[in-house]
A and B are shown apart, each in its own frame.
Chain A
Amino acid sequence: MKPEKSNKTKKRRLSWLVIFSLTLIVSLLAQERFRKSPPAPFPLPPLNIKPIESVKLSNGLQVSLFSQPDLPFTHLDLIIMTGETLSPDNLPGLATMTTRMIGLETRQLSSEKIKETIELLGGSFQAQTYLDYSSLTLEVLADYTDKALALFQQFLLSPSFNLKVFDQLKREIYYDLVRKSINSEFLAKRLLFQLLFNNHPYRKIAYTRDDIRKIQLKDVKMFFDQYILPNNSRIIFIGNLDLKTAAKKTSQALFSWKKRPLATTTFSPPLPATKIKIGLIHLPQRKDVTIYLGNVVFPKSKKDNFAYSVLSHILGGNTYSRLFLRLRETKGYAYYAFSEFELLKNCGLFTVRARVRPEVLEESLQEIFAVLREIIIDQKVANYELEQAKSFLIGRMPVELESLNNLAFRLTSMSIYGYGNEYWQKYYANIMEVTPDDVFQVGQNSALLTPIITLSGDKEIISNHLKSLSIDLYDLNGQYLSTLKKGD
């Protein structure tokens, strides 16, 4: 009996061995299989971004806080709700000059002392003007938030308006424009703003060296007095503090910044271009041509904004988007080809930019129009393309917010354009809800097929390859010179 039992045991053990071996083999093969294709993602985690809290001080200054516990820095953005659009018509660039003067020198602190003080706080400072607003950004080690606010107090309440400092800044901006006069992207973009916003205040962002030369110190002082006011400003904190503390600190530092009546200026939205117009800036010896193509668009709702973002991404948001694949990978015309959608206070701005070989300039433009027609006239976007664009826009948002500068820029846009806290909460859902019909519809409602086109490149090479286009030639300051036609 005993040997029989032993045989049974042996058989059972053998079968266990076989099971183990098979499991082992299957497990090894499975390891090979998972390497063959990309893994599925985990479930999408919620964005869970804290709401921005705000309070208004008695002088009209709005204090907003985006709290980040443990953040070792305090990032302060003083937003002035006056952009380049409010520069006087005869003095484009004045808003920029005024903002850049702030923080250069005060009645108590020399330029050198200010730089040293900022570095003693482990900090950095930047002053910039955009179309709709201006910003003063001061980022310091968290321990020195009070000292940063004390600096803001000096900048805003005791500017020196020293003529020497003003002349130095004027030279700096002037020579910066001189340096940029060989930058083909800058020139083409500036000409696009000039031609697209021809009769609109947005045109002033295209200021030139001649415009800068005209600005006087008295103009800057007047602009400062008129617009740099607490009731025209907001201060946004990003840091390890609460709203009560932020408001208290701001109030202590800026209580004597008095509000004054502010002239309200409104202007109508710009008109879209309804006829294709091409402008060129001559850059001698340039071996390529930079193309900027754009028009204003008018999203009717927040839903439209998201549809435009998706449209822009499918069209030219990345190296796998249609423009890049067609102009660079398939046709070999371009070094790059991208598109962008930007929301402004009065409209949206849709642009395409590309750098192409001059001998295929006309073919490249035709191809850009072909891609535009396909997406807004011929056929609704395919589902896989739509999902790809959504995946990118959803994924890029948290990645982008990691940088304090990007986060601050996003918070500023939310504040300026009145997005509200629901922007964060509904961001994923809003992107998810965009359908092929939405994308098709915003495309059809836009005037993207009658844009302004601006070019920068060598006019001799370009005119040698012109086949059918007429191109207006402009100088580096945006002055019209002549029209190039086939055979000229």
Chain B
Amino acid sequence: MSEENWRKIIFWFLLLFISMGVILKIDLRAQNHFPYPGKVHQLKNGLTVILSPGAYFPTTAIAVGYRVGPLYEQPQQAGISYLLENLMFQGSQNVGRMQHVRYIQRVGGLLNVLTSYDRMIFYQILPSHHLPLAFWLESDRMTRLALNQAAIQREILAIIDEINFRHSQDPYLSYEDLLNQFLFPIFPYYLPLYGTRNKLPSLKAEQVRKFYSRYFCPANAVICVTGNFEPSATLELLQKYFDSIPSGSEPPLKLPEIPDVTLAKTERTLGDPAIPSPAVFLGFPLIHVQARELPVLTLIEYILLHGQSSRLQKKLITKERLALRLSGGLEMRGKLGSFKFFLSSTNSTSLAKAKKVLWDEINRLKSELVKDTELIKAKRLYEKDFLQNFLTTSNRAVTLIDFYFSGKSVSSPYDELKKIQAVTPADIAGIMNRYFTDKYVLINLEIK
């Protein structure tokens, strides 16, 4: 072999060795100021890392988010995302069933998961000296989950029990599903978050394994570390645990395009002897809603529904006591959204009055500009909720991943607050007139 060839071989060996064994050291300076912004990094296998150092106490939160949920499900896969969310706690290659939970609890930590239609964020908060434990646990379930037929069947039965329990606790739930079918008429946007009782049993182990390897992989994930840690050493540790996990079997599907649909006004009156009191669901579809319109819609939610002095809370609950229950707000499923209201009253007379108040307030927001004081109050309440999301390390980790998935700035989180602060009374009236039209869905529920 020639000298030149030897040199080449040694060069490539050295390069390979360096790239596998030695980790890039990136200088990350802790930005110790609230709300502790995040800095984004990318591992070789495509795993996105957000580091946000800074905490009042020696705690660290680790969140792992996956772009997955019912919006990524195919017709024969309905409910598979929620099934996998449950299976993520049922053991992996080196961690036994439910041991993830126990490992975290034993060291005083807390953990949970947030699931929505297009994202799933698993998170844990620990005393900071146990940071490697969280990396070990999360990397193990990202590498190889225990997906045997018995575990899958057991979890399918548990989810069906859970769905039955939810319906037994909330007799209005099936009507909310119906409302969603009218408001989100395009597959898979109307799918329920937890799957359906009749579709779940037909899910096969092979489907679950394929779905897992496609969506629960580094290329489709974001990991966020917040709190008391040293960034460069943590990045090295992340590389140790996550870099060797294969990127992903095949690229995740893109969210289905939303066609130009025009929904007609839909009104239904239904009878049910099992509901405790008459109720009404009202929903306004938000098709092709623009990102710049979301802050305005958010403030509309605060003006109408948030806080004890919001318009509807004050009129329907505190003052006139026309409603027993009042809930609702903005709900986004990918780019398709809706603005919903739910009201229940002791009797049909009160409900009719409550409905009138609801419509009056919707129309008032369309025709009259919101007073400055009321808008400021809504903005301050939003600011409080926004800042609360950064107050604990676990909230911050989840929020930064949510920001990343939504295309919001993780390095400058206050930008989102600025967008809210820029909303004017005219913006509110404009959006009300654009979306709160006669193309609504109304479901009246009577006790029959």
Contacts of A41 in B (CB 8 A): 107, 129-130, 132-133
Q: Name the distance in Å between A22's Cβ and chain B's nearest Cβ.
A: 11
Q: Can you list, as one digit per residue, whether each of B316-332 has a CB less than 8 Å from chain A (1) or not (0)?
A: 00110000000000000
Report whether B244 and A31 are in contact in the complex, using a CB–CB cutoff of 8 Å.
yes
- The distance in angstroms between the C-alpha atoms of A209 and B445, with both chains bound, is 34
In the complex with contacts A20-B17, A42-B131, A35-B94 CB distance below 8 A: yes
Q: Name the distance in Å between B260's Cβ and chain A's nearest Cβ.
A: 40
Q: Name the distance in Å between A10's Cβ and chain B's nearest Cβ.
A: 7
A395 within 8 A of B: yes
Q: Can you list, as one digit per residue, whether each of B341-355 has a CB less than 8 Å from chain A (1) or not (0)?
A: 000000000000000
Report whether A42 and B381 are in contact in the complex, using a CB–CB cutoff of 8 Å.
no
Which listed residue (B55, B129, B139) contacts A42, Cβ 8 A?
B129
Report whether A35 and B108 are in contact in the complex, using a CB–CB cutoff of 8 Å.
no
- The distance in angstroms between the C-alpha atoms of A16 and B130, with both chains bound, is 39
Which listed residue (B35, B130, B244) contacts A395, Cβ 8 A?
B130
How many B residues have CB within 8 A of the partner chain? 66
Which listed residue (B6, B377, B394) contacts A120, Cβ 8 A?
B377
Contacts of B128 in A (CB 8 A): 42, 45, 398
Which listed residue (B16, B55, B381) contacts A122, Cβ 8 A?
B381
Q: Could you say which of A45, A122, A399 has the most chain B C-beta atoms within 10 Å of its C-beta?
A: A399
Report whether A392 and B129 are in contact in the complex, using a CB–CB cutoff of 8 Å.
no
Report whether B132 and A402 are in contact in the complex, using a CB–CB cutoff of 8 Å.
no
Q: Can you list, as one digit per residue, whether each of A112-134 has a CB less than 8 Å from chain B (1) or not (0)?
A: 10011001111110000000000
Report whether B94 and A43 are in contact in the complex, using a CB–CB cutoff of 8 Å.
no
B140 within 8 A of A: yes
In the complex with contacts A17-B10, A399-B110, A45-B380 CB distance below 8 A: no
Report whether B126 and A39 are in contact in the complex, using a CB–CB cutoff of 8 Å.
no
B86 within 8 A of A: no
CB nearest neighbor in B for A36: B94
A319 within 8 A of B: yes
- Segment touching B, from A67-75, A181-189, A471-479: A67-75
A44 within 8 A of B: yes
Report whether A115 and B136 are in contact in the complex, using a CB–CB cutoff of 8 Å.
no
Contacts of B13 in A (CB 8 A): 17, 20-21
Which listed residue (B17, B58, B136, B380) contacts A24, Cβ 8 A?
B17
Report whether B108 and A392 are in contact in the complex, using a CB–CB cutoff of 8 Å.
yes
CB nearest neighbor in A for B244: A31
B376 within 8 A of A: yes
Report whether B125 and A399 are in contact in the complex, using a CB–CB cutoff of 8 Å.
yes
Report whether B384 and A141 are in contact in the complex, using a CB–CB cutoff of 8 Å.
yes
B308 within 8 A of A: yes
Which listed residue (B16, B35, B139, B383) contacts A35, Cβ 8 A?
B139
Q: Can you list, as one digit per residue, whether each of B160-204 has a CB less than 8 Å from chain A (1) or not (0)?
A: 000000000000000000000000000000000000000000000
Report whether B102 and A398 are in contact in the complex, using a CB–CB cutoff of 8 Å.
no
Contacts of A45 in B (CB 8 A): 58, 128-129, 228
- The distance in angstroms between the C-alpha atoms of A134 and B276, with both chains bound, is 37
8 Å CB interface, B78-117 against A: 93-94, 101-103, 105-110
Report whether B108 and A39 are in contact in the complex, using a CB–CB cutoff of 8 Å.
no
8 Å CB interface, A8-52 against B: 10, 13, 16-17, 20-21, 23-24, 27-28, 31, 34-49
Which listed residue (B35, B101, B103, B125) contacts A402, Cβ 8 A?
B125
Report whether B392 and A119 are in contact in the complex, using a CB–CB cutoff of 8 Å.
no
CB nearest neighbor in A for B14: A20
Which listed residue (A17, A35, A48) contacts B58, Cβ 8 A?
A48
Contacts of A395 in B (CB 8 A): 107-109, 126-127, 130
In the complex with contacts A27-B21, A44-B129, A402-B392, A73-B109 CB distance below 8 A: no
Report whether A17 and B377 are in contact in the complex, using a CB–CB cutoff of 8 Å.
no
- The distance in angstroms between the C-alpha atoms of A318 and B103, with both chains bound, is 12
Report whether A402 and B56 are in contact in the complex, using a CB–CB cutoff of 8 Å.
yes
Q: Name the distance in Å between A137's Cβ and chain B's nearest Cβ.
A: 14
Contacts of B240 in A (CB 8 A): 31, 34
Q: Can you list, as one digit per residue, whether each of B377-399 has a CB less than 8 Å from chain A (1) or not (0)?
A: 10011011001000111100000
Q: Name the distance in Å between B321's Cβ and chain A's nearest Cβ.
A: 11
Total contacts A to B, CB within 8 angstroms?
163
Contacts of B57 in A (CB 8 A): 47, 49, 398-399, 401-402
B9 within 8 A of A: yes
A393 within 8 A of B: yes
How many A residues have CB within 8 A of the partner chain? 59
Report whether B106 and A120 are in contact in the complex, using a CB–CB cutoff of 8 Å.
no
8 Å CB interface, B58-75 against A: 58-59
B264 within 8 A of A: no
Report whether B58 and A392 are in contact in the complex, using a CB–CB cutoff of 8 Å.
no
- The distance in angstroms between the C-alpha atoms of A443 and B131, with both chains bound, is 35
Report whether B380 and A122 are in contact in the complex, using a CB–CB cutoff of 8 Å.
yes
In the complex with contacts A120-B380, A122-B381, A399-B59, A394-B20 CB distance below 8 A: no
Report whether A38 and B143 are in contact in the complex, using a CB–CB cutoff of 8 Å.
no
B439 within 8 A of A: no
- The distance in angstroms between the C-alpha atoms of A41 and B134, with both chains bound, is 10
Report whether A399 and B106 are in contact in the complex, using a CB–CB cutoff of 8 Å.
no
Report whether A392 and B107 are in contact in the complex, using a CB–CB cutoff of 8 Å.
yes
Contacts of B137 in A (CB 8 A): 38
A194 within 8 A of B: no
Report whether B34 and A24 are in contact in the complex, using a CB–CB cutoff of 8 Å.
no
Contacts of B34 in A (CB 8 A): 70-72
Q: Name the distance in Å between B15's Cβ and chain A's nearest Cβ.
A: 11
CB nearest neighbor in B for A13: B6
Contacts of B94 in A (CB 8 A): 35-37
B262 within 8 A of A: no
- The distance in angstroms between the C-alpha atoms of A20 and B17, with both chains bound, is 8
Closest 9 CB pairs of A and B: A395-B108, A396-B108, A122-B384, A122-B380, A39-B132, A395-B127, A398-B57, A70-B34, A42-B129
* Residues of A bordering B, CB below 8 Å: 10, 13, 16-17, 20-21, 23-24, 27-28, 31, 34-49, 68, 70-73, 112, 115-116, 119-124, 141, 318-320, 388, 391-399, 401-404
* Residues of B bordering A, CB below 8 Å: 1, 6, 9-10, 13-14, 16-17, 20-21, 32-35, 55-59, 93-94, 101-103, 105-110, 125-133, 135-137, 139-140, 143, 228, 240, 244, 307-309, 314, 318-319, 373, 376-377, 380-381, 383-384, 387, 391-394
In the assembled complex, 20 residue pairs joining A and B whose CB atoms fall closer than 8 Å, in A order, are: A20-B14, A23-B17, A24-B20, A34-B136, A35-B93, A35-B140, A39-B133, A42-B132, A44-B129, A45-B228, A73-B384, A112-B318, A115-B307, A120-B377, A395-B127, A396-B108, A396-B127, A398-B57, A402-B392, A403-B392
